[in-house]
């Protein structure tokens, strides 16, 4: 139990306190109480930076469930610390922003409790060393995200979005758990560090591709990669602070964290590297293309988030190549540095952009770009922040987005030059995909600035627009300032945070000494690529009306959302149909299933094991046995063929009495006695039932013939006979009845052996059979006395 464990669980503890405070304190905005928590955690984590960057990772352990290996091991290396600082730092800003954004009339208690639970979950994800704990926190993020998306639960769209995100992320999380289990089977450990240490076992294992695919499914669903990105745009129904925090800065980066964390384990696998690279690049392209057509501010930002996540994912894939192939390692180290740097950059500018979108929504009453316009003079501060963050997103100097995009393009160009076993001929695709994606990124960034702040006033806004209050402006101002600071002085990050993080992704101990500079010289293809992006992007934006029509071809039927909705509908319909088809409600159908399976599996068993039947140890058959069997058979035949229920009952009685005769012939007088008495009683009861049949259903008709039923009954009979014969032919041990015969008088002082067994040797059975009779008697009494209430009687009851 170290201080860090307390730090991880501090938000949950605070959540409990806040739930109590919420009841008693009504005057102060609840956010002020919540603000202390992330601020304290962030301050504590900042103090850890020098230790981690100079002395290497910290490791604390706390035994939780040692028997199954689920220990709360905290492992703080560069990567975990980077994410933890992002979470707590942006968490602080988001809580501050939410104080201005949410009014006191909202259910603030719920909001901050969910948010703090989420914070604990997220800190747990990035700091856990144990995969089971990682999975635990991972699902906790899904659940708290679900709660936050559905914060305004009276809106249908909130519920829809929350359900969708829950289904998709839970699916991925569950797959990821499978991946972890496979890893555990391979390496025999649940600790990520020990998995990295045992990477040889993973390389040799045949199961590794399975683990790769399962873990990647978890990462892709959480980080909204193609084709699982569809939940993120629908998660925009959440309050804007939640969108800013969860769906841009922290939760969606959990998948990136997972990929980065497992790069040392899986990077040897080509499947891992190429999947990440290609999926990331395609997500980048697809989402940036789709972001351009969005009208909703948050819609643009959601697709933008997806595309930026794809960018980081592809960089991580390129970084995986550094471990995979020996091809010019330093180049691919650049890719990892770029990925880490862009994680930070994206968190800053996208958090700020979401907050700006929230401000616009708050101050104008709409988020539709079509209705907004010409707000430059009315909201100057917001405009300044938008310029900074959107241009950073577009990748223009001197902001930090430029630097990471430059590194990204560089890495992609290097990738096209490198020579790899797979896809070598296609490697020229990577820079092209990257550049096209960046062009669209540029277009929607410009659209964001131009559509909202420039141009003419539209006067269509529901509210009269004005500048936001200071409380809402502080957080985006801080983030925008960070964008500028990181853009101008990127190296304050490189030694302290980026290098340790990149080192833990690459699992090396050698210092990287990264230097991020603005100017790489004219020979750098990335520079020309950036210029091309700006030129083409501007041209595309200026002539947007002449090419936007291509989005009209993007019909509803071809989107993944349509596929998801139809899948949901058809899975419901299909399961309903399957259930209705099987669960008919008729007992006869269930009997067919039960006996049908009995026959099928009986035949299968017979087929595989054989039925050893020999007729050696059977006794002689007497004439009276034959006669009785014939009587029983005739009675059975009459039961099946007769039209009258009465005849059936009598014949059933006849069978019962024949059985009593059998008992008599086989020298079982007690059984014969009981059988006679019982048969009389049951026949009488049958007759009572018959007598009370309603007049209408008393009409007599023969039992219908159904071929299936016939086949199944014949099958059941044949199998039971065969099994009986086989069992009788294979007596493995002597009967224990000898003991009873010898001791019935000696030990129990009785002459009637059956009765002695019933009450002495095995008295317990008799006791409980007596109980069964008692229960049956009470049950019949209750049934007869109970007033069966119809619907009409209900009214009387309550009157």
Using alpha carbons, list the distances in angstroms from residue 574 to 167, 241, 562, 647: 18, 39, 17, 46
* Residue closer to other proteins, measured from CB, 516 or 672: 672
User: Are 255 and 218 spatial neighbours (Cβ–Cβ below 8 Å)?
Assistant: yes
Burial (Cβ within 10 Å: 0-12, 13-18, ≥19) of residue 617:
exposed
Closest approach, Cβ 794 to other proteins, in A, equals: 26
Closest approach, Cβ 641 to other proteins, in A, equals: 12
Tally of CB atoms within 10 A around 754: 15
Torsion of CA 352, 356, 358, 361, to 10 degrees: -170
* Token pair of 604 as six digits: 């299968």
Query: Residue 672 interacts with other proteins (CB under 8 A)?
Result: yes
Options 275, 660, 756, 757; binder of other proteins; rule CB under 8 A:
660
Options 436, 484, 647, 652; binder of other proteins; rule CB under 8 A:
647
Query: Residue 677 interacts with other proteins (CB under 8 A)?
Result: yes
Closest approach, Cβ 611 to other proteins, in A, equals: 34
Options 199, 201, 676, 716; binder of other proteins; rule CB under 8 A:
676
* Residue closer to other proteins, measured from CB, 269 or 658: 658
Per CB under 8 A, which of residues 625..644 are in contact with other proteins? 627, 638
Burial (Cβ within 10 Å: 0-12, 13-18, ≥19) of residue 726:
middle
Options 213, 560, 664, 748; binder of other proteins; rule CB under 8 A:
664
Options 624, 730, 737, 770; binder of other proteins; rule CB under 8 A:
624
* Ramachandran region, residue 56 (left: φ > 0; alpha: ψ -120 to 50; beta: rest): left
Rounded-to-integer distance, Cα 642 and Cα 472, Å: 88
Closest approach, Cβ 595 to other proteins, in A, equals: 30
Options 365, 398, 669, 777; binder of other proteins; rule CB under 8 A:
669
Torsion of CA 277, 281, 282, 286, to 10 degrees: 160
* Residue closer to other proteins, measured from CB, 623 or 782: 623
Stretch that binds other proteins, among 238-246, 248-256, 431-439, 672-680 (CB under 8 A): 672-680
* Residue closer to other proteins, measured from CB, 600 or 629: 629
Backbone angles phi and psi of 37, in degrees to 5: -65, -60
Stretch that binds other proteins, among 434-442, 483-491, 526-534, 663-671 (CB under 8 A): 663-671
* Residue closer to other proteins, measured from CB, 462 or 694: 694
Stretch that binds other proteins, among 226-234, 488-496, 657-665, 732-740 (CB under 8 A): 657-665
> For residue 630, what are the contacts with CB-CB under 8 A and spacing of at least 6?
none
Query: Residue 755 interacts with other proteins (CB under 8 A)?
Result: no
Options 63, 511, 575, 684; binder of other proteins; rule CB under 8 A:
684
Tally of CB atoms within 10 A around 422: 11
Closest approach, Cβ 717 to other proteins, in A, equals: 25
Closest approach, Cβ 665 to other proteins, in A, equals: 7
Burial (Cβ within 10 Å: 0-12, 13-18, ≥19) of residue 303:
buried
E-assigned strands of 69-109? 74-76
Query: Residue 230 interacts with other proteins (CB under 8 A)?
Result: no
Rounded-to-integer distance, Cα 773 and Cα 775, Å: 5
Query: Residue 491 interacts with other proteins (CB under 8 A)?
Result: no
Query: Residue 785 interacts with other proteins (CB under 8 A)?
Result: no
Query: Residue 650 interacts with other proteins (CB under 8 A)?
Result: yes
Backbone angles phi and psi of 441, in degrees to 5: -60, -45
Stretch that binds other proteins, among 412-420, 670-678, 733-741, 764-772 (CB under 8 A): 670-678
Stretch that binds other proteins, among 356-364, 459-467, 505-513, 677-685 (CB under 8 A): 677-685
User: Are 526 and 410 spatial neighbours (Cβ–Cβ below 8 Å)?
Assistant: yes
Burial (Cβ within 10 Å: 0-12, 13-18, ≥19) of residue 198:
middle
* Residue closer to other proteins, measured from CB, 25 or 634: 634
Closest approach, Cβ 695 to other proteins, in A, equals: 15
Stretch that binds other proteins, among 65-73, 274-282, 309-317, 674-682 (CB under 8 A): 674-682
Token pair 């707000």 in the structure block, residue? 375
User: Are 368 and 299 spatial neighbours (Cβ–Cβ below 8 Å)?
Assistant: no
Rounded-to-integer distance, Cα 268 and Cα 272, Å: 8
Total of residues contacting other proteins (CB under 8 A): 19
> What does the H/E/C string look like for 512-561?
CCCCCCCCCCCCCHHHHHHHHHHHHHHHHHHCHHHHHHHHHHCCHHHCHH
Per CB under 8 A, which of residues 157..196 are in contact with other proteins? none
Rounded-to-integer distance, Cα 235 and Cα 126, Å: 22
Query: Residue 673 interacts with other proteins (CB under 8 A)?
Result: yes
Stretch that binds other proteins, among 81-89, 391-399, 583-591, 667-675 (CB under 8 A): 667-675
Query: Residue 652 interacts with other proteins (CB under 8 A)?
Result: no
- Which residues contact other proteins (rule: CB under 8 A)? 624, 627, 638, 647, 650, 654, 657, 660-661, 664-665, 667, 669, 672-673, 676-677, 680, 684
């Amino acid at each position: 139990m170290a201080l860090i464990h307390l730090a991880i669980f501090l938000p949950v503890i605070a959540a409990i306190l806040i739930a109590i405070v919420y009841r008693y304190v009504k005057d102060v905005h609840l956010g002020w109480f919540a603000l202390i928590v992330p601020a304290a955690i962030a301050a504590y984590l900042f103090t850890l930076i020098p230790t981690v960057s100079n002395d290497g990772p910290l490791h604390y352990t706390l035994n939780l469930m040692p028997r199954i290996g689920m220990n709360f091991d905290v492992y703080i290396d560069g990567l975990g610390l980077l994410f933890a600082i992002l979470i707590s730092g942006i968490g602080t800003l988001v809580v501050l922003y939410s104080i201005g954004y949410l009014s006191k009339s909202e259910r603030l208690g719920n909001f901050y409790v969910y948010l703090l639970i989420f914070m604990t979950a997220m800190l747990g994800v990035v700091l856990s060393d144990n995969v089971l704990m990682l999975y635990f926190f991972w699902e906790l993020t899904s659940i708290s995200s679900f709660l936050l998306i559905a914060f305004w639960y009276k809106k249908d769209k909130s519920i829809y979005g929350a359900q969708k995100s829950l289904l998709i992320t839970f699916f991925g999380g569950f797959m990821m758990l499978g991946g972890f289990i496979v890893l555990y089977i391979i390496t025999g450990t649940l600790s990520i560090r020990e998995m990295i240490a045992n990477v040889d076992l993973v390389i040799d294992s045949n199961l590794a591709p399975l683990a790769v695919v399962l873990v990647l499914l978890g990462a892709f669903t959480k980080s909204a990669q193609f084709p699982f990105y569809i939940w993120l745009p629908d998660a925009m129904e959440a309050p804007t602070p939640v969108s800013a925090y969860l769906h841009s800065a922290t939760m969606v980066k959990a998948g990136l964290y997972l990929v980065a964390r497992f790069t040392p384990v899986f990077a040897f696998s080509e499947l891992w590297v190429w999947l990440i690279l290609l999926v990331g690049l395609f997500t980048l392209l697809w989402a940036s293309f789709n972001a351009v057509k969005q009208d909703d501010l948050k819609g643009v930002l959601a697709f933008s988030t997806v595309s930026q996540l794809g960018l980081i994912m592809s960089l991580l894939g390129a970084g995986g190549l550094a471990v995979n192939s020996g091809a010019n390692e330093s180049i691919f180290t650049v890719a990892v540095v770029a990925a880490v740097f862009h994680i930070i950059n994206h968190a800053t500018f996208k958090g700020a952009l979401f907050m700006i979108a929230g401000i616009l929504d708050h101050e104008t009453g709409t988020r539709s770009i079509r209705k907004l316009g010409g707000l430059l003079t009315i909201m100057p501060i917001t405009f300044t922040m938008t310029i900074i963050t959107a241009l950073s997103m577009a990748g223009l100097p001197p902001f930090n987005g430029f630097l990471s995009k430059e590194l990204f393009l560089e890495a992609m160009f290097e990738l096209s030059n490198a020579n790899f076993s797979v896809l070598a001929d296609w490697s020229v695709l990577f820079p092209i995909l990257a550049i096209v994606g960046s062009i669209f990124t540029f277009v929607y960034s410009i659209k964001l600035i131009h559509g909202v702040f420039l141009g003419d006033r539209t006067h269509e806004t529901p509210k009269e627009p004005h500048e936001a209050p200071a409380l809402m402006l502080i957080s985006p101002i801080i983030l925008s300032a960070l964008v500028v600071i990181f853009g101008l002085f990127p190296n304050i990050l490189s030694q302290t945070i980026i290098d340790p993080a990149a080192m833990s992704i690459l699992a090396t101990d050698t210092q990287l000494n990264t230097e991020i500079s603005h100017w790489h010289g004219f020979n750098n293809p990335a520079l020309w690529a950036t210029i091309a992006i700006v030129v083409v992007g501007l041209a595309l934006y200026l002539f947007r009306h002449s090419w936007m029509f291509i989005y009209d071809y993007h019909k509803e039927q071809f989107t993944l959302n349509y596929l998801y909705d139809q899948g949901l509908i058809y899975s419901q319909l299909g399961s309903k149909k399957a259930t209705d088809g099987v669960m008919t409600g008729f007992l006869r159908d269930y009997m067919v299933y039960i006996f049908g399976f009995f026959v099928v599996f009986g035949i299968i068993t017979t087929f595989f094991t054989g039925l050893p039947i020999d007729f050696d140890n059977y006794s002689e058959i007497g004439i009276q046995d034959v006669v009785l069997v014939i009587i029983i058979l005739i009675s059975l035949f009459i039961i099946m063929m007769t039209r009258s229920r009465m005849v059936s009952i009598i014949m059933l009685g006849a069978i019962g009495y024949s059985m009593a005769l059998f008992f008599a012939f086989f020298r079982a007088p007690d059984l014969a006695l009981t059988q006679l008495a019982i048969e009389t009683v049951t026949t009488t009861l049958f007759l009572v039932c018959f007598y009370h049949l309603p007049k209408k259903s008393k009409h007599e008709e023969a039992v219908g013939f159904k071929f299936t039923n016939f086949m199944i009954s014949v099958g059941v009979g044949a199998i039971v006979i065969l099994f009986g014969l086989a069992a009788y032919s294979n007596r493995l041990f002597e009967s224990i009845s000898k003991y009873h015969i010898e001791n019935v008088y000696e030990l129990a002082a009785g002459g009637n052996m059956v009765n002695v067994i019933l009450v002495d040797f095995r008295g317990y059975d008799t006791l409980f059979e007596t109980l069964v009779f008692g229960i049956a008697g009470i049950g019949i009494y209750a049934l007869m006395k109970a007033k069966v209430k119809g619907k009409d009687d209900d009214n009387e009851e309550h009157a």
